[in-house]
Amino acid sequence: MTEPQFSIRGLIIAGTDTGVGKTVVACGLAAAAAYAGVSVGVIKPVESGCMEKAGRLIPADASILLEAAQSGQTLNDVCPYPLKAPLAPSVAAKLEGVSIDPNDIVKIVNEALFEFEFTLVEPAGGLLSPLADKLDSLELARLVGLPILLVAPNKLGVINHVRLCEKSIRSSGVLLWGIVLNQPSATPDESALTNREEIERFVKAPFVIELPYVSMTPEMSWPSRELMSPLIERLR
């Protein structure tokens, strides 16, 4: 199988908020890219709310990203800063006496960019949620020179949240690569019928793609290759 040449080295998978489906999208992209023959690195720099097993904190999102990418990385490579408290990473780190070094995170991402053909970075929380002092998803994207794929929940209120995020991204000089409207529920609200059209009217983005609801279960851990194909085609 001929390896496709993606037009960019990687993406920051950022969200308008926490719990909007960043991991769903990142896993789907990683799995689809790997299936296409591209070596994919994944990074979840900080993850809070980790469960403790045998004296070790296990980052659930990082674990499933690693499974999707089949990258050969270790869990520590993917998530160097697992935290126990289900709080914003900067708050959880302070409570647990963990010092998160922004320069270390930048170094880890740059190493993955060097090692892999394509790297997906999924920071915790929303676009401007602090990962550490002076570091959030937007600043990380600026420091490592990667564009942002913005994930937003396809529900009432999303138009405002996407517009606010788009303004922040534009003002920073970071490229907004595209927007994914992810369906967060098996029963969409009425706004889901019109959100995409309204966002396309008011937001300057190369594309807006809708994803249907995907339940993260052992039987279907991430979106199918068919669902992710519009994004994969835009990477070529």
Catalytic residue numbers, as ranges: 44
For residues 121 and 80, what is the distance between their CA atoms, to the nearest angstrom? 13
Tokens of 59: 């980052």
Any bridge partners for residue 167, and if so which?
Answer: none
Q: What SS3 string covers the chain? A: CCCCCCCCCEEEEEECCCCCCHHHHHHHHHHHHHHCCCCEEEECCEECCCEEECCEEECHHHHHHHHHHCCCCCHHHHCCEECCCCCCHHHHHHHHCCCCCHHHHHHHHHHHHHHCCEEEECCCCCCCCCCECCECHHHHHHHHCCCEEEEEECCCCHHHHHHHHHHHHHHHCCCEEEEEEECCCCCCCHHHHCHHHHHHHHCCCCCEEEECCCCCCCCCCCCCHHHHHHHHHHHC
Spatial contact of 83 and 96, defined as CB atoms under 8 Å apart:
yes
Q: Which residue has the tokens 């997906």?
A: 120
Token look-up 């600043």 returns: 139
